[in-house]
Structure 1
Amino acid sequence: MAARVVTPPKQQHEQGEINEGDLPVSIFLTPIAAPMRFSIMYPDFGVNNFQIRPDWINLMSNTLQFYGLPHENPNTYISNFLRNCQNFHAPGVNEDAIKLRLFPFTLRDAALEWLDAEPHASITTWEELIRKFCTKFFPPARVAKIRLEIQTFQQKEEESYNEAWNRFNELMRKCPNHGITQGNQVQYFYTGLTPLSKSQVDASAGGSIIGKSVQQTMDLFESIATIHSMFSSERVIAALTKQVELLVKLQTHGANAMMASSACENCGRNHATKSCMMLTSSEEQVNFIQNSSRNFNSYSNNFQQERRPSLGEMFQQYGQKTDKVFQQIDTNFQNQQASIKKLETQIGQIAQQLAERPQGTLPGNTMINPKEQLMAIEVVENDPPRAPVKVKAYVPPLLFPQRL
């Protein structure tokens, strides 16, 4: 019987005859190293012997990271990335080449996995990278959500005018491709304002914004927000009010309940809340702003409209009233500090007295009981007097004497 000759796998491959059944099992069990692949096709720098400095990479990697989380905004991230890249400038070097090489060092977790999962050399330009990046992490559904927030914008109850304007602009910056015209922006913002803020805008516009152009109205919105940020004291008053309330609680802690109930809820002084100067001043400011655009002469028989105050006069009077409120708050704050200092002094004196008293003694002096020892006297007729007999104090017997 003739022996069967098996051709080695290498020779079978050379001859084009590969039989999988003749291959060793180790070929299928040994892991194969993945080939090096890059989703970005990096262009040349345009200058010979140029390399990106390591400090550039460390700066971008440590100060700017994008993880691909739902709350992260890729548009804001791209804006910050481009702002940092402006600090890296080399004459004659292709800037897109620098951006494409620095971009992967700022990605983390899901964002880096997305970049590695892209096909090999599928990204060749910076514009293509940004388009794919925004499509992945800022899908159309998210754009539609922000567009709806802009269209249904509403000023919050405790939100000032400048805070509402800044929040509206922040929504616009979050979605650069919102596609909303400037005229619609004016409509959405003005419609969402509270009646008080609308009256302020109308008074600043000379009665109404209908006669203004779109650009003039946008400039008016911005100027009012700027003036409010300079003179508005709502946030400062709220912070000071919280501090005063805390001081009032510390001062009235342990005091008479009747005195605590008579204190004002706004400033903490001993008067009714309805008659507080702070509340009266706030109501005067609101009434002044609401009635500034419709101030009529009540003493004229023909109801002739008086001259409307200018915007500068309105804000000057508003600033004066605000200064009075600040002065009142400052006076209340100083009074509360003086009261707290008195309480601290009294508590310190009490603590010092407790520290000087010996331990294990009562605050007062103790007296010895005069009946601590009893003396029994027996009197018998026709007997000479006897010396008093001392009665021993009763001592109870020991329990369980067998244990001793």
Structure 2
Amino acid sequence: MPNINGAQPSIVRPTVNANNFEIKPGLIQMVQQEQFGGGPAEDPHAHLTNFLEICDTIKMNGVSDDAIRLRLFPFSLKDKAKAWLNSKAPNSFTTWNALSQAFLSKYFPPGKIAKLRNDITSFAQFDGESLYEAWERFKDLQRKYPHHGLRDWLIVQTFYNGLTHSVRITIDAAVGGTLISKSTEEAYELLEEMVFNNYQWSNERGMPKKVPGMYDVDGINMLNAKVDSLVKMFGKLGNVNSISSPVLSCDCCGGAHMSSNCMQVQFVSNYNRQRQQNNPYSNIYNPGWKNHPNFSWKYQGNQGSSSRPLHPSGFQPRPSQQENKESWEIAIEK
């Protein structure tokens, strides 16, 4: 039969000489608010840093730091990390140093160390990133891996080489030379000062002056409002996709074509054009003029023939001027 009394924790809690030593529930709750679960996105170094800050808030005579840390650390773990601690053999950790080293070895493997170290040494400023933003991002990489082992002068040189060309020119002009020619301490202080000035200048520039009596409307909201109004407008007009193409209809024959392409219209047009070209009374010259009664170029080869002009069949000769006169006009002339 399993015996609960035989289960021993992996952490050996040091003895405390103080009789009134007690960890307050409020302190335990503070530790539990920053629990570490062992996920790939969690930072073990940041967890230890936050945990030590909480532990340093309590000091008692006759109570060592290890006694407080070893008692509180299990409350700071959850999920996989808590299962890892419970899986260790009983009495595995007797000091805080041994426990913290085992914790970092578990959740800070060599592969992760190599990646973070490479992120530091291959640092490069992003496009559109300010000097302040680049400096803070570079320091965040160092905080994720505080034991990177890089010398201070290499840290400064790595950051300087990772900046864009225009930013390096600005820094060199500000220091009156090249930044890497300065000492490590001086170069670091100059960077901190320039970063601070860049941060202040960016904040002042990023605060637009507001005009009294005007509302500040976000551009995205305005665009969304316009899109909504257009959608409503098209909704009232009906579905755009349902609009059919116009149906062609001829005004002459009713066929499915334009009136200008109708065969009947073209036939009538060609017929009228041919009649006009042979009209002897047309105002425009055409071959029919040779049949005009008032023109004399018609061939008169046969003198004995009648002088009456010939007319094409189907045409009546125009009456002469004499024939057009009324009888009373003729009587006056006589």
**Secondary structure at the counterpart of residue 181 of structure 2:** coil
In 2, Cα distance between equivalents of 1:45 and 1:235? 58
Q: Structure 1 residues 235, 77: closer, same or farther in 2, change over 3 A?
A: farther
In the other structure, the counterpart of 1:91 is 61
> Runs of 4+ in structure 1 displaced over 4 angstroms?
250-255
Supply the RMSD in Å over aligned alpha carbons: 2.7
In the other structure, the counterpart of 1:283 is none
Q: Which amino acid aligns with 1:41?
A: V
In the other structure, the counterpart of 2:331 is none
Q: Which amino acid aligns with 1:246?
A: I
In 2, Cα distance between equivalents of 1:234 and 1:247? 26
5+ residue gaps, structure 2: 211-215, 230-334
Q: Structure 1 residues 48, 237: closer, same or farther in 2, change over 3 A?
A: closer
**Superimposed CA distance per residue, residues 206-255 of structure 1 (whole angstroms, 9 cap, x where no aligned partner):** 132243111111111111111111111598379x9x96643764797799
Q: Which amino acid aligns with 1:98?
A: I
Q: Does the CA contact (< 8 Å) of 1:42 and 1:101 recur in 2?
A: yes
In 2, Cα distance between equivalents of 1:163 and 1:90? 42
In the other structure, the counterpart of 2:220 is 246
**Secondary structure at the counterpart of residue 206 of structure 2:** helix
Residue 53 of structure 1: how far off its partner (Å)? 2.1
Q: Which amino acid aligns with 2:220?
A: L
Q: Which amino acid aligns with 2:10?
A: S
In the other structure, the counterpart of 2:48 is 78
**Superimposed CA distance per residue, residues 89-126 of structure 1 (whole angstroms, 9 cap, x where no aligned partner):** 22332221011001101100000011001111010001
In the other structure, the counterpart of 1:359 is none
Percent identity between the aligned chains?
A: 37
Q: Structure 1 residues 211, 187: closer, same or farther in 2, change over 3 A?
A: closer
In the other structure, the counterpart of 1:133 is 103
Q: Does the CA contact (< 8 Å) of 2:157 and 2:180 recur in 1?
A: no
Q: Name which of 121, 126, 134 aligns with 1:164.
A: 134
Are 1:120 and 2:100 counterparts? no
In 2, Cα distance between equivalents of 1:84 and 1:56? 8
Q: Which amino acid aligns with 1:181?
A: R
**Secondary structure at the counterpart of residue 80 of structure 1:** helix
Q: Does the CA contact (< 8 Å) of 2:113 and 2:145 recur in 1?
A: yes
In the other structure, the counterpart of 1:103 is 73
In the other structure, the counterpart of 1:45 is 16
In the other structure, the counterpart of 1:203 is 173
Q: Structure 1 residues 196, 44: closer, same or farther in 2, change over 3 A?
A: same
**Secondary structure at the counterpart of residue 83 of structure 1:** helix
Residue 88 of structure 1: how far off its partner (Å)? 1.5
**Secondary structure at the counterpart of residue 226 of structure 1:** helix
**Superimposed CA distance per residue, residues 310-359 of structure 1 (whole angstroms, 9 cap, x where no aligned partner):** xxxxxxxxxxxxxxxxxxxxxxxxxxxxxxxxxxxxxxxxxxxxxxxxxx
In 1, Cα distance between equivalents of 2:166 and 2:176? 16
**Alignment length (residue pairs):** 223
Are 1:189 and 2:159 counterparts? yes
Q: Structure 1 residues 248, 151: closer, same or farther in 2, change over 3 A?
A: same
5+ residue gaps, structure 1: 1-30, 256-404
Q: Structure 1 residues 101, 217: closer, same or farther in 2, change over 3 A?
A: same
Q: Does the CA contact (< 8 Å) of 1:46 and 1:94 recur in 2?
A: no
